[in-house]
């Protein structure tokens, strides 16, 4: 029962049988403003409608007709920091396409343009962004600075992030540099050091200097029932960048560094990912050696690291000499 309650809460679902919770808990689904994109026709589901709904917040669904619908994003949909919960549910039939030109979703509690809500923007509870049943493809984080060059499909700093039953394909961020990452997702400063939760999702054909699937600094992750294939860390020179290089090239599927953070990978497959430097599947560096990587009931196979690794497909520096691997294939 506790596990079901935790999952329902993470996804923003109504839990009428749940015990009373503290005032800081997000509202149940029934209390969220409900917004529907579209009126039953494919043409009614537009980029402008997505941008508007995300800015308004609440529980967002789609009514685009009975067939699969691809929405060509003409602008990035940005979460406003006064929203408590932004829950976007594509029902497995909606694709948001960045057209190879722009990031798709953006949340940043420290961006005053999205409304300044607290004096501790790097550790605030809301907004909570939940992405469910969507395909996000061809997102592209363009630009020259670190922030604009990271997180091709989703950039999430502050608040909370949950991703479930979604597919990320052919997303991009800057192709070189030591401190950029997240072809699909870049996460920073999650509330209370709670983990980003990834469940039942697929990440494929991402390209970025580092972390072509997922990338973070000082953020924990819980990755469950997911697949990472054909992602490539395209940078060269690692971090810090070696002389004469532009840096990067590590963690093709997952790149994580910082201090005290944890990554748990459970019942997940990482296969055919490639890093020009370290960590063809996972690059994990806890700078103060307090963090740890745990892999359970998973398969990590054929994830070459051209430069360095501690075990096949993984470069790891943490509080133990090696990651904890249980019931898994790592080769």
Handedness of CA 128, 87, 227, 304 (dihedral sign): negative
- Domain assignment present for residue 38? The answer is no
Q: What pLDDT is stored for residue 12 in this prediction?
A: 52
Contact of 186 with 215, CB cutoff 8 Å: yes
- Domain assignment present for residue 125? The answer is yes
- Domain assignment present for residue 279? The answer is yes
Look up the domain containing 106 and give its range: 91-330
| Joined tokens for residue 71 | 């929405």
Q: What pLDDT is stored for residue 31 in this prediction?
A: 78
Q: Count the neighbouring beta carbons within 10 Å of the beta carbon of residue 218.
A: 18
- Domain assignment present for residue 307? The answer is yes
Is the previous residue joined to 66 through a cis bond, with omega within 30 degrees of 0?
Answer: no
- Domain assignment present for residue 150? The answer is yes
Q: What pLDDT is stored for residue 143 in this prediction?
A: 66
- Domain assignment present for residue 86? The answer is no
| Residues forming a β-bridge with 228 | 203, 270
DSSP string, 179-219: T---SSEEEE--GGGPPEEEES-EEES-EESS-SSEEEES-
How many separate domains does the chain show? 1
- Domain assignment present for residue 273? The answer is yes
- Domain assignment present for residue 11? The answer is no
Q: Which residues of the chain have pLDDT under 50?
A: 1-9, 11, 13-30, 144-146
């Amino acid at each position: 029962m506790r596990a079901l309650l935790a999952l329902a809460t993470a996804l923003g679902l109504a839990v009428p049988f749940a015990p009373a919770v503290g005032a800081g808990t997000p509202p149940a689904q029934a209390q969220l403003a409900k917004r529907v994109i579209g009126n039953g026709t494919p043409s009614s589901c537009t980029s402008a409608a997505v941008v508007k709904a995300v800015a308004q917040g609440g529980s967002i669904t789609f009514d685009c007709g009975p067939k699969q619908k691809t929405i060509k994003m003409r602008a990035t949909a940005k979460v406003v920091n006064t929203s408590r919960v932004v829950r976007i549910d594509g029902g497995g039939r909606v694709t948001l396409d960045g057209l190879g030109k722009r990031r798709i979703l953006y949340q940043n509690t420290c961006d005053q343009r999205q409304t300044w809500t607290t004096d501790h923007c790097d550790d605030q509870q809301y907004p909570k962004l939940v992405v469910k049943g969507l395909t996000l493809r061809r997102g592209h984080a363009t630009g020259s600075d670190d922030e604009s060059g990271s997180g091709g499909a989703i950039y999430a700093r502050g608040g909370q992030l949950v991703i479930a039953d979604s597919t990320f394909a052919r997303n991009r961020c800057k192709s070189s540099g030591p401190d950029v990452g997240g072809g699909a997702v870049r996460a920073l400063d999650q509330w209370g050091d709670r983990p980003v939760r990834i469940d039942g999702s697929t990440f494929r054909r991402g390209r970025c200097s580092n972390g072509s699937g997922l990338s973070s600094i000082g953020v924990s992750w819980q990755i469950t029932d997911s697949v990472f294939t054909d992602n490539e860390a395209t940078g060269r020179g690692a971090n810090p960048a070696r002389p004469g290089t532009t840096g990067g090239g590590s963690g093709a599927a997952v790149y994580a560094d910082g201090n005290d953070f944890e990554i748990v990978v459970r019942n997940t497959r990482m296969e055919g990912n490639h890093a020009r430097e370290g960590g063809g599947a996972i690059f994990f560096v806890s700078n103060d050696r307090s963090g740890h990587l745990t892999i359970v009931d998973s398969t990590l196979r054929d994830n070459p690291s051209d430069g360095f690794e501690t075990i096949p497909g993984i470069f790891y520096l943490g509080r133990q000499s090696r990651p904890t691997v249980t019931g898994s294939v790592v080769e």
